[in-house]
Amino acid sequence: MKLTGFTDYSLRVLLFLAAEPGRRATIAEIASAFDVSENHLTKVVHHLGKHGWIETVRGKGGGMTLAKAPADICIGQVVRGTEGADMPAECFADDGGGCLISGCCRLKGVLAEAVLAFYAVLDKYTLADISRNRQVLGKILKIQAA
């Protein structure tokens, strides 16, 4: 069972920003800190901005910050947004996917229940919970204080 790379990178961006909440960060420095492609992060940052998790200031001295307090950013909500249409199996598509038995399949209900349980755990945690060790994170990611 796999989350998309898009989800993985989104959570890394949020963790980076939570390490020094007041400070503006650029895509280039987050990409460099995690050694990932700027191109991937650009899409991730666009998505996070569109959904109101981060704010971006353009121009010189610009960059992104969290748009809310870390305690108000629920991991379950973030992951639901980044996973989007990525469902556990093809039968979860609106048209039932290509599976012949999707109309009567009892496995689908079981998988749906398991997915709910997965998100119910993520809903219990906020960005504040997973960034309590922000000093350590900041050090490893070499983030200069705000």
Give the footprint of its own copies on this chain (CB under 8 A). 1-4, 7-8, 11-12, 15, 33-35, 75, 79, 83, 86-90, 98-101, 103-107, 110-111, 113-122, 125, 129-133, 136-137, 140-141
Instruction: Decide: 78 and 8 in contact? Cβ < 8 Å.
Output: no
Burial letters 112-125, b for 16+ CB under 10 A, else e: eeeeeeeeeeeeee
Question: CB 25 → its own copies: shortest distance, Å?
Answer: 15
CB 35 → its own copies: shortest distance, Å?
Answer: 7
The C-alpha atoms of residue 103 and residue 108 are separated, in whole angstroms, by 9
Least distance (Å) from its own copies to the CB of residue 11? 6
Which residue lies nearer to its own copies by CB, 42 or 133? 133
- Identify the H or E element spanning 56: strand 54-57
- Give the position of tokens 């991730």: 44
Smallest distance, its own copies to C-beta of residue 59, A:
29
Name the residue nearer to its own copies (CB basis): 104 or 145: 104
Residues in a beta bridge with 40? none
